[in-house]
Structure 1
């Protein structure tokens, strides 16, 4: 059974969902919402209390000021407030993409609140040797959004990320049907108020390597050609740890939810 809740935080109201029983596990993305993690959360709920949420400004989590930027630090504070609302001193955390960046900021800003963080493919462009070039491309994507809209911005974003944006069998997966008004609103928030701050986050390595938190960097087995595989390896190198492989590519938790859940269980137990 899944229960839904809301929580007032600074400048926003968060929508979050709770399912299952057992050790507390927070599963998060950015800009991905709770619905995107539903299959993974269902697969984990037999032995975990799984909490998912819509990040501020996305889907069911409206902002007081729609023009406010969503930074990893603000999102991390939201997650800490969520832990408080759940009455939890600490939890395991799985974050993917921008959600992994949120998790990294959470560990640094709220020491001791995270037991194990699994950071799956965080897009930390500042860690790359060609950071200046990559950040300039990201800025150009944002300009494309303002000039041509979300469709053109997504095409440029996916191509730069390393996905095949053609029509062949290796092309990046696309959601069925036309995007909803909510999809378009989420995309506009992402490109207009979230992307730049997320990719420019510089992780606090000292905080991430300080006990009691353990940080695991995850990379999809199918992500070899993606920029997030490069950023993940760069983070793992700075943490002096080996990255852990997960099923699928950047969206493996969607495409192979059951297999992904089993791998996540293994990682959390080790």
Structure 2
């Protein structure tokens, strides 16, 4: 069985955080510092990149492997009879959706922030093809060129002039969390289609979230679409796709507000406007 890597801090109800990218929790420390004043914050590191595994071989990643690991972490850290909240970012948000679909036991509420499961959209086939282009660009011209293509995809801009570059060696790739994301995560995760029917069966335990600075962009549209199709709640958070790093205190405060509202609200909620009628 694969070794589990996670950090635990704070006291209170369990909040599981699943980072984006290749699962490296870099940049989330200031946010978790705030949240640890109220929660037992458990930050899951699926590949162990922050726990001595950076540089070790990595296979192509599957959403189900991340959510299975997250479920095992919860079994280890949850006190008897208690349930957990989950916050997943980007690729970690996709894993959080799968966790709610396949391992709903002992989950109190899931917040999935800008999960790039773009196949659910009406133009999903075209959007998946764009992420395949991101992967192909990485293999042909390296991470800087692929990051430029990815940025254009997320913001809905036409690709600019090709950024020159060269592929990384295997050793260079294994030493870079961003390169590992481009090489082993981006294709498989953006090809994942969440079970919208299953999620529609637990709408009171799900919030789709997106950054207020992401309005009009691909992943804001994706989050809104999933919320509408499942009857789940939708909430805007400070900043953009990496709002937790840009505005850690405000992001943490918004998460607490969202979870508190979940405890008291009934029916679908769009948290830009308040409770909606059922």
Match of 2:214, SS? coil
Residue of structure 1 in register with 2:18 after alignment: 28
Deviation track 1:124-174 (CA, whole Å, cap 9, x = no partner) reads 1101222121111111111111111111111111111118899xxxxxxxx
Residue of structure 1 in register with 2:253 after alignment: 262
Q: CA deviation at 1:17?
A: 1.1
Q: CA deviation at 1:242?
A: 4.4
Residue of structure 2 in register with 1:19 after alignment: 9
Say which of 220, 223, 241 aligns to 2:211: 220
Q: CA deviation at 1:111?
A: 2.2
Q: Is the 8 A contact 1:28 1:95 kept in 2?
A: yes
Is 1:151 the counterpart of 2:144 in the alignment?
Answer: yes
The alpha-carbon distance between structure 1 residues 202 and 228, as it changes in their structure 2 partners (threshold 3 A), is same
Q: CA deviation at 1:207?
A: 2.5
Following superposition, which runs of at least 4 residues in structure 1 exceed 4 angstroms of deviation?
163-166, 181-184
Q: Is the 8 A contact 1:112 1:213 kept in 2?
A: no
Indicate the RMSD between aligned Cα atoms, in angstroms: 2.6
The alpha-carbon distance between structure 1 residues 190 and 120, as it changes in their structure 2 partners (threshold 3 A), is same
Structure-2 separation of matches of 1:190 and 1:73: 16
Residue of structure 2 in register with 1:90 after alignment: 83
Q: Is the 8 A contact 1:115 1:212 kept in 2?
A: no
Deviation track 1:208-256 (CA, whole Å, cap 9, x = no partner) reads 2334961011111111132111111111111124411111111111111
Q: CA deviation at 1:87?
A: 4.0
The alpha-carbon distance between structure 1 residues 213 and 58, as it changes in their structure 2 partners (threshold 3 A), is farther
Deviation track 1:174-227 (CA, whole Å, cap 9, x = no partner) reads xxxxxxx68952122211111111111111223223349610111111111321
TM-score relative to the length of structure 2:
0.80
Say which of 123, 126, 132 aligns to 1:133: 126
Structure 2: unaligned runs, 5 residues or longer: 160-171, 262-278
